[in-house]
Chain A
Amino acid sequence: MSDTDLSITRRAHARTATRSVSTRELTRGIPFESTDPDYELNFLASTLDALSAHVAIINSEGTILAANGAWRRFAEINGGDASGFYVGDNYLSVCSDATEDCGTDGLDMNTGIREVIQGERERFYMQYECHTPEGKGWYQVRVTPFDGRSDRFVIAHENITEAKLIEEELRASQSQLAHLVRLGTMGELAAGIAHELNQPLSAIANYASGSTRRIDAEPGSATPEIASALVEVASQAERAGQIIRRLRNFVRRTEPHAAEIHLPDAVKEAVGLLESDARVRGVSIEMSVDGDHLYVSGDAIQLQQVLLNLVRNAVEAIDTDDQRTHGHVAVHLSQHEFHHVLIEVLDDGPGLPEGFVERVFEPFFTTKSSGLGLGLSLSTSIIDAHGGSLRCRNRAEGGAAFQIRLPRSAPPLEDANRVREASP
């Protein structure tokens, strides 16, 4: 019987016969008391076979002398007889061949094992990736001299995929959390910045208006062009102030506030916040209203947040297409079967990818590199809370369509009176 034919259990048997203290050392700390060497041997064999780690022993040439159950199963799965993982195969040459599949990992492992064999290092440890069509895989390998000998070495591979995936997920959620916190901080900063900006904007408006009034009081003191430019300065400063005010109102954290909302006004305000961003991206937003007295009951800021999400998604979807120089988003409000109001956001972008329609409302699902994947999931919760529904589909003519359906509510009293007066 040659050395190479030994399985690790038989090898251990041979060793226990000569030096039974070795198994005792191996099982140190375990209540293991027996004078029967076979009993110790079976214990060791079954322990090694029960390990999920792939364990093998090689000699100085790299030839596999023994392997545990997990190693043998791995050899079966990875190419059967041709795998090169069997007892008697040369493990070092397997590692070199593996470079094709696993990048430079095989080469590094080869070098590491050689260094341990040559006594250049006490032990070798590395982590490596090995992705198969079935999924991603991570492993770690340890190479140590066997029982202090310089001609036998233990190689143990352990599958650490699960731990890696958890680690990866954790890192991802940490960065998402950090992003959320940054956004939250930004929100608070925005409120402060809005106030800070208000002061210089007011000053600009005051200077411009004061100048206009002086010019008006003294005809001929400035050219008509300068006079009209000053009027523009004042009105633009005022406009900037309004944008900031809207932003402040939107950012401010408020308790949900139920009220009768005139939907066209609320939608117009939300769309207004996005107009400049859309213009930069070459996307025009068109809003249309079909029907009168489109009121819903709920929190205006929350509903605006949903609108903002949908319209921004639409604008960004169009912008992802580099071939396009311009696009179009339509926001359409209409009455649906008297008791409902529909808000549709239609774009002419690339549409939703296959399989996207089902997953789009899941939390943390995103196709954007900078997105959190929370927008649509939050939007759904908001619409649900308002007793409505949020759906999406791909349009036959291309692009995506999102549809919000909300229960229509009665207009507030003063508006109802107007309706009554208007109708004969």
Chain B
Amino acid sequence: MIDENPSVTPTVFVIDDDPAMRKSLTWLIESVNLNVEAYESASAYVEKHDPEQPGCILLDVRMPGMSGLDLQAHLREIRSLTPVIVMTGHADVPMAVRALKNGAFDFIEKPFNDQVLLESVQKAIEQDRRIRRESTEISDIEDRIDNLTKRETEVMDYVVDGNPNRRIAEILGLSEKTIEVHRAHVMDKMRAKNAADLIRMVLTARNFRAATAPMPR
């Protein structure tokens, strides 16, 4: 497994109240050279949870105390982006639907084929990596947006909405020349190559925030 940063090797967080399941899953997942951390309860995981640690969660849905679904809700609330694979011993369709609605990455029925499980784990880790990368990118974009003056932000929003300079000048009651100056500053501060690049950056940031906002419960 090649990673840009070896100090943050992805970890599979196994959360299951059955010790035999924890140990055997650890044995299985370590056989493909992934890190495993096993927790006996959802609350034990929450206590140790480090949002900076990349990887994915392998979660038993039915557990005493904090249930798998409870943990999912909690993770959404704290805006954790770690993908969650839900495991169940029951062919329980309503439970699967709830887990997926809660944002589960995948749903696996016990006993599972090891290939199915490991593939799902690999995909979840890839998604986690992609989201973390995007997240860094988006933080950059957001930092640049924060550096704009109020007027510049205003002009940028109109540009993103697809308005030509003349129209923006009309709306804001300014000269077209002034708008051109603000717009040049925006392009410069945002490090945008052209208008299309600017629009892409702003929309990506907006979509990302919308997608990762906590769901109304």
With the chains together, A211 CA to B28 CA distance in Å? 7
A249 and B91 within 8 A (CB): yes
With the chains together, A202 CA to B14 CA distance in Å? 14
Residues of A within 8 A of B18 (CB): 199, 203
B28 and A199 within 8 A (CB): no
B27 and A207 within 8 A (CB): yes
With the chains together, A238 CA to B54 CA distance in Å? 31
Instruction: Indicate with 1 or 0, residue by residue over B11-54, a CB within 8 angstroms of chain A CB atoms.
Output: 00000001011011101111110000000000000000000000
**Inter-chain contact total with CB atoms closer than 8 Å:** 66
Residues of A within 8 A of B90 (CB): 195
B91 and A210 within 8 A (CB): no
The answer to the question of B112 belonging to the interface, with a C-beta cut-off of 8 Å to chain A, is yes
Known: A199-B21, A210-B27, A214-B31. Is A205-B114 also a contact (CB below 8 A)? Answer: yes
Instruction: Indicate with 1 or 0, residue by residue over A241-279, a CB within 8 angstroms of chain B CB atoms.
Output: 100010011000000000000000000000000000000
Residues of A within 8 A of B30 (CB): 210
Taking CB atoms and an 8 Å cut-off, the chain B residues in 105-164 that contact chain A are 109-114
Known: A195-B90, A245-B91. Is A201-B111 also a contact (CB below 8 A)? Answer: yes
A207 and B91 within 8 A (CB): no
B89 and A206 within 8 A (CB): no
**Closest beta carbon of chain B to A192's beta carbon, Å:** 11
Chain B: interface residue count, which band? 20 to 34
Residues of A within 8 A of B91 (CB): 245, 248-249
The answer to the question of A234 belonging to the interface, with a C-beta cut-off of 8 Å to chain B, is yes
**Closest beta carbon of chain A to B45's beta carbon, Å:** 19
Residues of B within 8 A of A203 (CB): 18, 20-21, 23-24
B25 and A206 within 8 A (CB): yes
With the chains together, A202 CA to B60 CA distance in Å? 13
Residues of A within 8 A of B31 (CB): 209-211, 213-214, 217
Chain A: interface residue count, which band? 20 to 34
Q: Which one, B20, B23, B28, B110, contacts A209 given CB within 8 A?
A: B28
B110 and A199 within 8 A (CB): yes
With the chains together, A200 CA to B31 CA distance in Å? 19
Residues of B within 8 A of A238 (CB): 111, 113
Instruction: Indicate with 1 or 0, residue by residue over A171-200, a CB within 8 angstroms of chain B CB atoms.
Output: 000000000000000000000000100111
A202 and B27 within 8 A (CB): no
**Closest beta carbon of chain B to A317's beta carbon, Å:** 34
Residues of B within 8 A of A206 (CB): 21, 24-25, 27-28, 114
Residues of B within 8 A of A44 (CB): none
**Closest beta carbon of chain A to B80's beta carbon, Å:** 26
Residues of A within 8 A of B28 (CB): 206-207, 209-210, 213
With the chains together, A406 CA to B91 CA distance in Å? 30
14 contacts between A and B (CB under 8 A): A198-B89, A198-B110, A199-B110, A201-B111, A202-B110, A203-B20, A204-B24, A206-B27, A210-B24, A210-B30, A211-B27, A213-B31, A234-B114, A237-B111
Given A207-B27, A209-B31, 16 more A-B residue pairs with CB atoms under 8 Å apart are A198-B110, A199-B20, A200-B20, A201-B110, A202-B24, A202-B110, A203-B24, A204-B24, A205-B111, A206-B25, A210-B27, A210-B29, A210-B114, A211-B31, A245-B91, A248-B91
User: Which 7 A-B pairs give the minimum distances between C-beta atoms?
Assistant: A209-B114, A206-B24, A213-B31, A241-B111, A202-B111, A210-B28, A203-B24
